[in-house]
Amino acid sequence: MLSLKNLWVEYGDKIVLERISLDIAEGSFVSIIGPSGAGKSSLLRVILGQERPTRGTITLDGAPLPAECGPDRGVVFQRYSVFPHLTVLGNTLLGLEFAQSPFTARLFGAQRRAAVGEAEAMLASVGLGDSLHLYPAQMSGGMQQRLAIAQALIKRPRILLLDEPFGALDPGIRADMHGLITRLWREHGLTIIMVTHDIKEAFSLGTRVLTLDKRRHDPHAPHRYGAAVVYDLALRKSVDEAGITIDANHNNGHE
Amino acid sequence: MRWVNRRPGRGTAFLLGAVPLAVLGLTYIIASAARHAANPADKILPLPGAMAQAMALLVFEADPLSGEYLFWADTAASLWRLGVGLGIATISTLLVGLVLGVLPPVRATLGPLVTAIAVVPPIALLPILFIVFGLGETAKVALIVVGVTPFMIRDVAGHVAALPREQVVKALTLGANSWGVMLRVALPQAMPRLIQALRLSLGPAWVFLISAEAIAADVGLGYRIFLVRRYLAMDVILPYVAWIAVLAVVIDFALTQSSRRLFGWAHGTAH
Ligand SMILES: Nc1ncnc2c1ncn2[C@@H]1O[C@H](COP(=O)(O)OP(=O)(O)OP(=O)(O)O)[C@@H](O)[C@H]1O
Ligand SMILES: [Mg+2]
């Protein structure tokens, strides 16, 4: 469904990513791991449309992806994903308000009641049904990430991009969030691309794990070579989470 | 207990804050009494009674020439100029600062102009304003506007431009366009900062107001102070200065309170 062809990302003369070619199937859960600075966030930003690749194309179902962020791709960052000036309900309503009211970006009357109902249902499904009127500053990190997920999902995006969404959470909350994201992924038929530093998380959640790293290294000019996909593992999950089998090792990219 | 950890309660803090003010007042009275003991006709440090007498004339008795209660006429004129000036400054800041902060092309176009205006000392522009607008109200209001707006615009635009990029990206993925980002993301988060900038601009605004009134006016707190200066009328000047301080404190307090009331999320207070 999502297809990246020969993608290069450069900042000035620093090459961050080189020759990234990927096909991502609808409904897959792709985890991206790799050392810090490898360009994981850069790849996500390019797919999101926040930045343009220096070379290469991205197509969604064969059509070039618009190079601007839009409601077809949802995102949750590690931080700053929710708006501090809006309550939980306000944050969740925002996506509906932008869509239904282009001029005032606010809803009134029956339209608002319908939107509030939808937002409340979404918040209930991420476990924030009792916190509708809290502001983000009054919530824990885990609650804020739940809100960020609800806020993104209410737009029914086809693709959800997550950049270290659980990086700042403690292990217990993290496990809860893993359960939550897996459930929402199945329920909404999402395609998820998640960057993480936690290898265990990458393997336990993903149906496919990509590793970004530099394949070549010039000790005198480290910036001349970018990172590429060095491992690309497809996982087949049995119903009980214990049995992960590494299925294939295609598109691995070594010359 | 270490000093950094000592937090006075409300009552204690009030008392502590009152002490320096009381000391100041007491020092004045002692100094004034001492001067009057040496020279009963001293005009430099009038006794409280003399100040009350002089002020009573301005506050409670209509001026025989104009039929106006001068103190109230001065206060109304000055507050009107201050209010109109700061009102225009606030509205222009909101419009320009928001657009400047949110839209990079506009920032590239207008940013240098705002900076250029901001570095000109406003008082140097006062003669130009008098020439252009005449000696009436417009020039005085214009001085306040010219004096505080560039600073406020730069402050608010800088704050908006420094909002995390993630917020803008997030809004776009939620279906917003530039207008939506401005209206629902930037504007609400600019408001508390705008009030903050307004508070910081109050001091300069008073300076510009009083300068303009001192040079060309026929009513106003600054005008009165500079008028009675010719007669060394400290019994009027000191109460007027104190009154200006009271007005400034009240306005500042009202702004702080309204910001807390309206934008509680920005002050870390629970709703
Ligand atoms: N806007 C930019 N301008 C210049 N260089 C950049 C920019 N953004 C990222 N880089 C560089 O690109 C490289 C990859 O950055 P990126 O944030 O994608 O890494 P990452 O894999 O997400 O790292 P981390 O795991 O620490 O988040 C880094 O070396 C960084 O210095
Ligand atoms: Mg990153």
Q: Please provide the distance, in angstroms rounded to a whole number, between the alpha carbons at the two ends of chain A.
A: 25
The β-bridge relationship of strands A191-195 and A29-33 is parallel
Same-domain pairing of A67 and A161: yes
DSSP H helix total and E strand total for chain A? 6, 11
Each residue's pLDDT tens digit, A63-116: 888 878 888 899 999 888 899 999 999 999 999 999 998 888 899 999 999 999
> How many angstroms is it from A198 CA to the middle of ligand 2?
13
CA distance A50 to A67: 7
Which tokens hold the place of A192?
């998820």
Q: Is residue A186 part of a domain?
A: yes
How many angstroms away from the CA of B260 is the closest CA of chain A? 13
For residue A241, pLDDT over 70 is answered with no
Which residue in A has a C-alpha nearest to residue B265's C-alpha?
Answer: A85
Whether A78 maps to a domain, the answer reads: no
Looking up tokens 């001029």 gives A103
| Domain C-terminal end among A122, A155, A188 | A155
Query: Which residue of A50, A80, A138 is in closest CB contact with B167?
Result: A80
What is the residue whose two structure tokens read 């601009």?
B201
Contact list, B262 vs chain A (CB under 8 Å): none
- Is the C-beta atom of A80 inside 6 A of ligand 1? no
Residues A87 and A64 in one domain: no
What domain range is A41 assigned to? 2-72+157-251
Last residue of a domain, one of A128, A155, A182: A155
How far apart are alpha carbons A38 and A22 in whole angstroms? 17
pTM: 0.86
Q: Which residues pair with A244 in a beta bridge?
A: A237
Q: How far apart are CA A61 and CA B1, in angstroms?
A: 68
List residues of chain B with CB under 8 Å from any CB of chain A. 164-167, 169-177, 179-180, 183-185, 188-189, 263-266, 268, 270-271
Three-state SS for A122?
helix
Question: Is there a single domain that holds both residue A244 and residue A164?
Answer: yes
Mark whether A63 and A116 lie in a shared domain.
Answer: no
Q: Which amino acid, A96?
A: L
Residue A195 falls within a domain, yes or no? yes
Q: Which of B176, B264, B268 sits opposite A98 (nearest CB)?
A: B176
Q: Are residues A161 and A240 in the same domain?
A: yes
- pLDDT at residue A80, as a whole number: 85
pLDDT in tens, A116-158: 999 999 999 888 999 999 999 999 988 999 999 999 999 989 9
Complex ipTM tops 0.90: no
pLDDT in the model for residue A114: 94
Pairing mode, strands A55-60 and A191-195: unpaired
Which residue has a Cα nearest atom 22 of ligand 1? A41
Q: Give the Cα separation of B139 and B218 in Å (integer).
A: 14
- Residue A144: CB partners within 8 Å, gap ≥ 6? A81, A82, A136
A242 and A179 within one domain: yes
| C-alpha to C-alpha distance for A45 and A217, rounded to whole angstroms | 24
A196 in any annotated domain: yes
User: Dihedral, CA atoms, A77, A80, A81, A85, nearest 10 degrees?
Assistant: 180
Report the alpha-carbon distance of residue A56 to residue A6 in Å, rounded: 5
Give me chain B's average pLDDT, please. Answer: 92
User: A243: which DSSP letter?
Assistant: -
Ligand nearest to the CA of residue A163, numbered in listed order? 2
Shared-domain flag, residues A65 and A163: yes
pLDDT tens readout for residues A158-185: 999 999 998 888 888 888 889 989 998 9
Q: Which residues contact A237 (CB under 8 A, 6 or more apart)?
A: A207, A243, A244
Domains, chain B, in order of start with CATH, read 1-45 (no CATH), 47-267 (1.10.3720.10)
**Would you say residue A218 lies in a domain?**
yes
Q: How far is A242 from chain B (nearest CA, A)?
A: 35
CA distance to partner chain A, nearest, from residue B148 (Å): 27
A112 and A6 part of one domain: no
3-state secondary structure labels for all residues of chain B:
CCHHHCCCCHHHHHHHHHHHHHHHHHHHHHHHHHHHHHCCCCCCCCCHHHHHHHHHHHHHCCCCCCCCCHHHHHHHHHHHHHHHHHHHHHHHHHHHHHHHHHCHHHHHHHHHHHHHHHHCCHHHHHHHHHHHHCCCHHHHHHHHHHHHHHHHHHHHHHHHHCCCHHHHHHHHHCCCCHHHHHHHHHHHHHHHHHHHHHHHHHHHHHHHHHHHHHHCCCCCHHHHHHHHHHHCCHHHHHHHHHHHHHHHHHHHHHHHHHHHHHCHHHHCCCC
Q: If you search the block for the tokens 């600062």, which residue do you land on?
A: B97
The Cα diameter of chain A in Å comes to 65
Asked if A8 and A121 sit in the same domain, the reply is no
Average pLDDT, chain A: 86
Residue A77 domain-assigned (yes or no): no
Chain B partners within 8 Å of A81 (Cβ)? 166, 170
Q: At a CB cut-off of 8 Å and minimum separation 6, what does A227 contact?
A: A16, A17, A18, A34, A38, A39, A212, A213, A214, A215
Q: Per residue of chain B (271 residues), what is the pLDDT tens digit? A: 899 998 899 999 999 999 999 999 999 999 999 999 999 888 889 999 999 999 999 999 988 888 889 999 999 999 999 999 999 999 999 999 999 999 999 999 999 999 998 899 988 988 999 999 988 899 999 999 999 999 999 999 999 999 999 999 999 999 999 999 999 999 999 999 999 999 999 999 999 999 999 988 899 999 999 999 998 899 999 999 999 999 999 999 999 999 999 999 998 754 4
SS3 assignment, position A214: strand
pLDDT of A238 strictly over 50? no
Number of folded domains that form chain A? 2
- Shared domain check, A87 and A114: yes
Contact B172 A68 (CB under 8 A): yes
